[in-house]
Amino acid sequence: MAPAVERTVDAIYRRRLRSLQAVDDAIAMLVGTLKRNGQLRNTYIVFTSDNGFHLGQHRMPAGKQTAYEEDIHVPFMVRGPGVPARTVVSQLTGNVDLAPTFGEFAHAVLPGFVDGRSLVPLLHGRSRAPRRWRRAYLVEHWPVGDEGEPAARGGVPLEPPDPDASGPGPRRLALRSRGYQVVIPPEYHGIRTRRHLYVEYVTGERELYDLPRDRAELHNLAATARPRLLRRLAARLARLKTCQGTECRAAEEARRVLP
């Protein structure tokens, strides 16, 4: 990145840290109030986000629309009854799991099937962790303003116009914003497993990363990986893209999905 872009990214990072100071103050006020009312031991506090945010990684100034770890791996911290301190959960989880988790926190009666899984057994320690859990998580992206959006078909737009919209067509777009270019990736579908990130773009491009060996996701293995591995990852992705209801849970939990 050019020096001017680096300075811009650094300024954005500093502003985001200052914003987090306000969040930290708000949490401190909440905890203090719960302590004074004698309710801290009976309350779950959850800190998370709807998406990640890259700032300079992969030579991209700022954004949140890629399949890389900086954008899809979000913070998730829980404090509450039955949650051991400093417990780290390694299973694949996602925001689809929040509703059943909060439902179990509140002892609510949940429907017979929901898309996500309650994280409560994982939060309460390994001895109570379920034996079956997802082995892959679906990651997808459609550029805002693409042809599939109602507004593009003459319908009523679901949201106000987005200044970062990529416009119709599966293409990468570089937009000028705050003095640097914002790269909007084309439509993609991918899966995140405990070891791999595998992504298929509508352009025909593919990406594959071995995460334990390449945490920065700098070495795309799609052109050199074993064909058998690529076929299995592609088959699992195809199944997760098209499944419905309970089929999706079976697809997530399957040890192997053969092409």
With respect to residue 121, please indicate whether it lies within any of the assigned structural domains.
yes
With respect to residue 183, please indicate whether it lies within any of the assigned structural domains.
yes
With respect to residue 70, please indicate whether it lies within any of the assigned structural domains.
yes
Domain region containing 81? 44-151+177-253
Q: What is the pLDDT of residues 137-155, one digit of tens each?
A: 999 998 765 444 444 444 4
Which CATH number is 85's domain given? Answer: 3.40.720.10
* pTM of structure: 0.82
**Percentages (nearest 5) of helix, strand, coil residues in the chain:** 35, 15, 50
How far apart, in Å, are the Cα atoms of 113 and each of 86, 138, 237, 248?
31, 18, 22, 11
Name residues of the chain where pLDDT drops below 50.
146-155, 162-175
Beta strand pairing status for 188-193 and 196-201? Answer: antiparallel
With respect to residue 239, please indicate whether it lies within any of the assigned structural domains.
yes
Which token pair is 242?
A: 């098209």
Domain count, the chain: 1
With respect to residue 28, please indicate whether it lies within any of the assigned structural domains.
no
With respect to residue 38, please indicate whether it lies within any of the assigned structural domains.
no
With respect to residue 6, please indicate whether it lies within any of the assigned structural domains.
no
User: What integer pLDDT is reported at residue 61 of this predicted model?
Assistant: 85
